[in-house]
Structures are given as structure tokens and as C-alpha cells.
Amino acid sequence: MDCPTCVDKHVIRVENLCKTYRVPQKPPGLVGSLRSLFSREVQQVHAVQNVTFEIQPGERVGFLGPNGAGKTTTLKMLSGLLVPTSGQINVRGFRPSDRDPDFLRRITLVMGQKQQLLWDLPPYESLELNRALYAISRAQFQETVGQLRDLLDLGALLDRPVRNLSLGERMKCELAVALLHRPDVLFLDEPTIGLDVTMQATVRTFIAEWNQRYGVTVLLTSHYMQDIAALCNRVIVIDGGKLVYDGDLGALARNIAPHRRILLRSHTEMTLDALSAYGPFVREGGSTVASVHASVVNSIVNRLLVDIPDIELSVEDASLESIIARLFQRGEGETRNGRQ
């Protein structure tokens, strides 16, 4: 067990975390099936390999990686649903795999593809069930439900059978049930999956508000990069079960994609030769575009605005999707740590 000072400083501490599965292999055909009855070959699948990171109180951290990278496996180990093959995990001073009742009161795990609501009953019944499970006082229960109802705009949803709710309405109720006991640590695995754009924004706004109000530590996985960009300044990226980046999201963007695109539109026809004095402009379809380093964008834009009064322009950053894709394309190598 870590010292009290270390526990206070780091809500989550992971050291050399590994998870390996033994997967039976069967040779093809009838002969292979018969042979496997007596002698079965087993393949070692390394889902998570030597992952190390720390998360401070109140941080909102994005946890990124392609499908099969080990994100959900890691979250399940952090929440105590899986036991690590090796390595150490400390969450709020507890070892998650022990499933200590005090630990379970301090964390919650919300998985966008799973639900804890009772299908044929209203969400309010699930709230009442959790009130009993967590021994929450009636006064705290009513206060928390009132706050969740207001922040999530639940209205009459809590009194309608779950089967009659839309996917977005169910997710809002899932969040309400998961947060009823006011956990310190919130693990979110694809909380906006399948939701429309409006509902995704609603869920993001709620997570940010709850984090600011209660100082909850959030570890979030999502394939929607809008979720990460809106909620997280720091990202942890894993690929093939290995940590490939841990640090500031802005620093990652500057390192992987340091260039910006300047798009021009002018009421005065300008040739590419004339524009070459400002930057490497080319024609792309109906647009005039230059890709330049971020450090010179302001200088080019200011010169264009002064010299060409009727010009219209915009500056585009590389999308977060493209930045993460480029990081994966670099392949295996040294872990990139952007932490100060």
C-alpha cells in the first residue's frame, strides 16, 4: 500500500500493468478437433503490456486507442472487474481486484454498450435499488436525484419504463444511476456511442459540469474525438496494449501535425504567382489553399489582410482524428511522454 501522501497526490496509479489471456487454438478439420480433446494448444494474447501512468485528483483524461488496443480491458482492471496478470494498480488507496466495499463506493464504471437499468421498470426504481445497495440516506438521495434531474434534464423520464426510452434518454438515466452514490472516480467507456449530435453534446456538458461541481476524476474512452477535445486536456494513447503517448493534447497536435491550412477567397482574381509571395498556395477544387507551419500562420494572415482588403480567409487545424491516426501509423517505438 502506498504512503498516505502518495495516495492523496495520485487518485490513480498504474505501474507496469499487464493482462495476458490464454486462448485455446484448435487445428482445422475433424482430426484437429479430436486431437484438441487430448492435447490443446494455447496461444498467449497480450491485451495490455507494461502500461504505467498516474492521474491527479479532478483530472479529466482521454484514454484513446484503436479497436482491440486494450482500453476496455484496462478500465475493467481499474474498476476491479478483471485481475491483472502482473503489475500494480492503486485507485484511491485500494487495490481494485480486492473489490473492497469502500472502494466500490468511491468509483463507478459506465459502459455505453452495457446497461444496469431494469428493462421493464422505470429508472427511478433502479435509483431506489442503488440507494439501498449503497446505504444512501433518504435526504442525500433526494438531494442528488434533484441535482441529476436538473443537470440532465430528466423531467418525467425517471417514471417511464426503460423499454419506452430512446437510446439517448436511457444513457442520461444510466449516468444518473451510476452517479447516485457520488463516486470520486468516474470511468467512462464510450458513453456517447450511438447517440445523435445533440445528445452527445448534452452528455459532454453534463460530465464537465459534474466534474467541476464535485471534483470527480474522469477517465474517458471514446471513438468520437469531439468528446475528447471538449472534455480532456490530457490524453493517454495505447496501441497493441502498449502505451504510446501520455501528455497534453495540444502538445500532441503540435508534434504530430504542426501545419495549418490557410484557405483563401478573394473578390479580386489573384494568380498563384502573385500569391507565392505570401506562401505556397495551390488550387484545390474551387479553393486556394496553403499548408504552412503554425509558427508563420499569423504573419501570413496579417500580410494578406493588409495587402488585399477584399480577401476572405479561414485557417484550419488538423482534425484530432487525423492526428491520432498519424500517431498509430508511426508504429511501435519509444513511448512518447508529454507530461511535465
Instruction: Spell out the residues 6+ positions from residue 130 whose beta carbon is closer than 8 angstroms to its own.
Output: 136, 177, 180, 181
3-state secondary structure of 136: coil
How confident is the model at residue 336, as a pLDDT?
A: 57
Cα separation of 330 and 340, whole Å?
Answer: 23
How confident is the model at residue 63, as a pLDDT?
A: 95
Per-residue pLDDT tens over the stretch 131-188: 999 999 999 999 999 999 999 999 899 999 999 999 999 999 999 999 999 999 999 9
CATH fold, domain 258-316, is: Alpha-Beta Plaits (3.30.70)
CB 105 within 8 A of CB 183: yes
How confident is the model at residue 5, as a pLDDT?
A: 39
Cα separation of 40 and 33, whole Å?
Answer: 10
- The cell for 33 is 478437433
Cα separation of 222 and 193, whole Å?
Answer: 8
Q: Where are the domains of the chain?
A: 258-316
Q: pTM of the predicted model, to two decimals?
A: 0.80
Per-residue pLDDT tens over the stretch 248-260: 988 888 888 888 8
Instruction: Spell out the residues 6+ positions from residue 67 whose beta carbon is closer than 8 angstroms to its own.
Output: none
Q: How confident is the model at residue 34 (pLDDT cuts 50, 70, 90)?
A: confident
Backbone angles phi, psi at 268, to 5 degrees: -105, 125
Q: How far is CA 295 from CA 199, 252, 302, 326, in A?
A: 37, 16, 13, 21
